[in-house]
C-alpha cells in the first residue's frame, strides 16, 4: 500500500527532515508513526499525501510510483487517500453534512448522491442524527469524527492521520483510535502519526519510530526478531 525506499527530504534551508527512510505498510495494515517533535512525522505524511515531494528515493503508493508524478495526476491520486488532521479543518459556517460531503461536491457529484453518501459516512463514525448541526455545537471528539467521515467519503483504501487525538483527552483519544481500528477492520489501511506513546502502547499495533529524520525502530521487525 505504501512503500518507501531510501526516501530523503531536504528542505530548502538544507535541513534534512527525512534521511533515507525505508518502510512498507501492507494493504489492510494499521500502524502508528511516532517520534519526538521535529522527528519528521508530518514531513513523511506530506510525502504520502503529495503535499510535498521527496528530494530523493522512491515512494510507491497503491502500486503507483509517485516519486516522479506529474502535477496533473496529483488530484486523482489524492482522492484515494483519506487525510485527517489534528485541527480537523472543518468549515465552521457549514453544517456537518455539508462538511462531510465537500469532497464529493468538488468532484461534481449530484446533491442526492452527496447526501446519501454523507449520511452513510456519518453513520460509520457514529454520528447519526448530527448531520444538520454546526461543528461549533459538537464536542472535540465529535468534530474529529466529522473530519474522519469527510476523509472516508470517497472510500479511500488508505487513511493517514496527523496527530488526530492531539486536542482530545485520553478517553476521547481512545475512542477515536477505536474508530480507526473499526475502519481498519473494514479493510482500510491506516497510518497514524502521534507522539502519544501511552496511547500507542494501549493499542498494540506496529509502530514506526522516527528520530531526527531516521527510522530508528519498526515494531513489527522487533517483534519478529524477539
Ligand atoms: N517547510 C519546511 N522548511 C524547512 N524546514 C522544515 C519545513 N517543514 C518542516 N521542517 C523541519 O523539518 C523537521 C521535521 O519536521 P516535521 O514537521 O516533519 O516533524 P514532526 O515529527 O511532525 O514534528 P511535530 O510532532 O512537532 O509536528 C523539523 O526540524 C522542522 O523544523
172-200 confidence digits (pLDDT tens): 999 999 999 999 999 999 999 998 888 88
Give the closest residue to 186 by CA, choosing from 151, 147, 156, 144. Answer: 156
What is the distance in A from the centroid of ligand 1 to the CA of 124?
Answer: 33
ipTM summary value: 0.93
What is the chain's percent helix, strand, coil content, to nearest 5? 40, 25, 35
Q: Are the C-beta atoms of 18 and 40 separated by less than 8 Å?
A: yes
Can you tell me the distance from the alpha carbon of 139 to that of 158, in angstroms, rounded to the nearest whole number? 26
132 Cβ closer than 6 Å to some ligand 1 atom: no
38 Cβ closer than 6 Å to some ligand 1 atom: yes
40 Cβ closer than 6 Å to some ligand 1 atom: yes
Quote the pTM value.
Answer: 0.92
Give the helix/strand (H/E) hosting 81: strand 81-85
162 Cβ closer than 6 Å to some ligand 1 atom: no
Amino acid at each position: 500500500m505504501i512503500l518507501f525506499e531510501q526516501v530523503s527530504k531536504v528542505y530548502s534551508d538544507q535541513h534534512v527532515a527525512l534521511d533515507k527512510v525505508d518502510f512498507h505498510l501492507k494493504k489492510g495494515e494499521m500502524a502508528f508513526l511516532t517520534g519526538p517533535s521535529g522527528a519528521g512525522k508530518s514531513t513523511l505524511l506530506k510525502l504520502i499525501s503529495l503535499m510535498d515531494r521527496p528530494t530523493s528515493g522512491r515512494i510507491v503508493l497503491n502500486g503507483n510510483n509517485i516519486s516522479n508524478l506529474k502535477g496533473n495526476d496529483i488530484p486523482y491520486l489524492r482522492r484515494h487517500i483519506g487525510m485527517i488532521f489534528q485541527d480537523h479543518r472543518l468549515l465552521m459556517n457549514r453544517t456537518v453534512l455539508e462538511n462531510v460531503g465537500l469532497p464529493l461536491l468538488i468532484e461534481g457529484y449530484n446533491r442526492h448522491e452527496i447526501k446519501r453518501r454523507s449520511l452513510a459516512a456519518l453513520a460509520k463514525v457514529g454520528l447519526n442524527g448530527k448531520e444538520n448541526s454546526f461543528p461549533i455545537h459538537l464536542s472535540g471528539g465529535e468534530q474529529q469524527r466529522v473530519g474522519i467521515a469527510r476523509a472516508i467519503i470517497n472510500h479511500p483504501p488508505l487513511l493517514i492521520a496527523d496527530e488526530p487525538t492531539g486536542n482530545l483527552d485520553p478517553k476521547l483519544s481512545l475512542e477515536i483510535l477505536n474508530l480507526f481500528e473499526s475502519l481498519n477492520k473494514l479493510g482500510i489501511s491506516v497510518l497514524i502519526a502521534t507522539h502519544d506513546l501511552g496511547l500507542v502502547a494501549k493499542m498494540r499495533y506496529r509502530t514506526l519510530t522516527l528520530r531526527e529524520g531516521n527510522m530508528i525502530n519498526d515494531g513489527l521487525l522487533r517483534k519478529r526478531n524477539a
